Amino acid sequence: MAKRNNEHISIADALKEFVETNKLEHGLDVVNVKDTWRDMMGNGVNNYTTDIQLKNDTLYVQLSSSVLREELSYGKEKIICMLNESLGKEVIKKLVLR
């Protein structure tokens, strides 16, 4: 860490610096996106969600119900906005429902 010379930094700043230095941000985003999806969608959707993957800025969600997939496809933009808002930054630009 660059800020060692008796300079006091908060734990939050130290963690942020550690994450940036070690390029862990994408890994944290993947975990946060999965948690946010589960929290936001509730049990109804989660029961049919079989896999969630974040690749670059595209979120791939595997659903076991074609009816639910069709239903959610109408609100893709809204889902993307809600997820990004919950994450506090624009992580997702595209949502692919499979």
Q: What is the pLDDT of residues 13-38, one digit of tens each?
A: 888 888 677 777 788 888 899 999 99
Residue of 8 and 2 predicted with greater confidence: 8
Q: Where are the domains of the chain?
A: 23-97
pTM value?
0.77
| CATH pick for 23-97 out of 3.40.50, 1.10.3470, 2.50.20, 3.30.300 | 3.30.300
Question: What does each C-alpha distance from 51 to 12, 60, 63, 78, 84 come to in angstroms?
Answer: 31, 8, 7, 20, 19
